[in-house]
Amino acid sequence: MRKSCGFQQAQDGLSSALSRLLVVTENYPQRKATGNFRDLQAQLEGTENRITVERQRFNEAAQGFNTRRESFPTLLIAGFFGSKFAIKPFFQGKPGTDTSPEVKF
């Protein structure tokens, strides 16, 4: 669960940075036309895609662990180790974080 909290903090930081970037672009519209700005747009899209893929991988790994943990004989053995083999929760972001922030340039 600790990893998903850090991940959520990173997402909140990214959203904050994007908001500040929007303010800058509104104040300086000539920056929209630069090649660097277009590269930034491509990087943002790539980052959003990587975040989505990693969320899916995390949830698939948790599902695989939970399925294996609940199967026989692992179920019997896992009980002896307490919380070390507890069921792993899926990543669930805060409401509204399932969609990326809207960035208009």
Quick check: is 97 in a domain?
no
Q: Kindly report whether the peptide bond that precedes residue 89 is cis, defined as omega within 30 degrees of 0.
A: no
Quick check: is 104 in a domain?
no
Quick check: is 59 in a domain?
yes
Rounded to two decimals, the pTM is 0.55
Quick check: is 101 in a domain?
no
Cα separation of 83 and 75, whole Å? 13
**Whether the Cβ atoms of residue 98 and residue 14 lie closer than 8 Å to each other:** no
Number of domains observed in the structure of the chain? 1
pLDDT per residue rounded down to tens, the chain (105 residues) = 445 567 777 777 777 777 777 666 666 666 656 777 778 878 888 888 898 899 899 999 999 999 988 888 888 887 777 777 888 888 877 777 666 666 665
Residue 4 identity (one-letter amino acid): S
Quick check: is 90 in a domain?
no
Instruction: Tell me which residue range forms the domain holding 71.
Output: 2-85
Quick check: is 96 in a domain?
no
3-class secondary structure, 64: helix
Quick check: is 16 in a domain?
yes
Quick check: is 46 in a domain?
yes
Task: Determine how many CB atoms are found less than 10 A away from the CB of residue 27.
Answer: 8
- Alpha helix locations (H) across 28-96? 35-69, 74-78
